[in-house]
């Protein structure tokens, strides 16, 4: 599954082994398809919809469709990453620490397809590691993932000025709390559009949009395609009736 190539905020992630220089920082972006990344050496920072994590050798990061995130490496050490194309699931992704990861890396040198199969088996028997809640931006991100919340009310409850919250959250996650929440809601709409059969009007109502056109604009802004285009893509091309 691919997104429109003209969308500037999407980046290509090629499968295989890659070395990323120390001090690397990539601003907020998403990828053309889902992928899994094995941290082979060094460290790798990721701040996206499922939280903020600093990944170490042996960790596996699953980045799904429509996850906008920032990435960085340590200032004084390169990172080596092994990437695999992944299934187009609709989860928010996550971090895993499976057993036998050294075997996956070794096999990938001669047979990437077999290595991906081994990685799938390893992840199937391991649990997703929850993001560490290191600071208040992470706590706010957790609340926003859980559902609609008043950012002003949350800030007041934490004894923080709304302006402080906006600046601090943007510094940590690369966007404002309001935009982060809006993207999560648009992604929830996309999940239901692409994987379910509810009408667009019902999805818009269930997710608290003012109306269906409001949801359509939000989904198009996030993905580059309209809800109708996604539903059509899921259903596949219409079959032509046989000639009589």
CA distance 36 to 226: 27
Could you tell me which residues are beta bridge partners of residue 20?
79
Mean pLDDT, range 73-91, rounded to an integer: 89
Tell me what pLDDT residue 5 has.
42
Phi, psi of 79, deg, nearest 5: -120, 140
| CATH class name, domain 10-129 | mainly beta
Residue 231 has pLDDT above 50, yes or no: yes
pTM attached to this predicted model: 0.84
Task: Give me the CATH code for the 136-235 domain, please.
Answer: 1.10.10.60
- What are the residues whose beta carbons fall under 8 Å from the beta carbon of 67, sequence distance 6 or more? 30, 31, 48, 49, 50, 92, 93
Do 10-129 and 136-235 come out as alike in CATH topology? no
Domain ranges within the chain, ordered by starting residue: 10-129, 136-235
DSSP track, 172-232: HHSS-HHHHHHHHHHHHHHHHHHH----HHHHHHHTT-SSHHHHHHHHHHHHSS-HHHHHH
Among 5-14, 95-104, 148-157, the least confident range: 5-14
Mean pLDDT, range 95-122, rounded to an integer: 95
DSSP strand pairing (79-85 vs 51-55): unpaired
């Amino acid at each position: 599954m691919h997104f429109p190539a003209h969308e500037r905020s999407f980046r290509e992630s090629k499968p295989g082994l890659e070395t990323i220089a120390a001090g690397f920082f990539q601003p907020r972006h998403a990828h053309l398809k889902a992928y899994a990344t094995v941290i082979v050496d060094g460290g790798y920072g990721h701040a996206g919809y499922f939280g903020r994590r600093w990944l170490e050798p042996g960790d596996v990061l699953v980045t799904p469709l429509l996850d906008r995130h920032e990435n960085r490496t340590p200032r004084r050490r390169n990172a080596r990453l092994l990437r695999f194309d992944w299934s187009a699931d609709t989860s928010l992704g996550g971090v895993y620490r499976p057993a036998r990861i050294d075997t996956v890396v070794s096999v990938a040198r001669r047979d990437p397809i077999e290595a991906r199969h081994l990685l799938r088996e390893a992840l199937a028997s391991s649990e997703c590691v929850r993001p560490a809640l290191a600071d208040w931006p992470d706590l706010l991100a957790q609340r926003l993932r859980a559902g609609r919340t008043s950012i002003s009310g949350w800030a007041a409850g934490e004894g923080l000025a709304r302006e402080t919250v906006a600046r601090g959250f943007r510094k940590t996650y690369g966007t404002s709390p309001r935009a982060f929440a809006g993207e999560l809601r648009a992604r929830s709409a996309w999940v239901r559009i692409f994987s379910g059969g509810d009408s667009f009007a019902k999805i818009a109502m269930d997710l608290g949009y003012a109306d269906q056109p409001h949801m359509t604009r939000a989904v198009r802004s996030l993905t580059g395609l309209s809800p109708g285009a996604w539903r059509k893509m899921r259903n596949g091309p219409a079959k032509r009736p046989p000639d009589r």
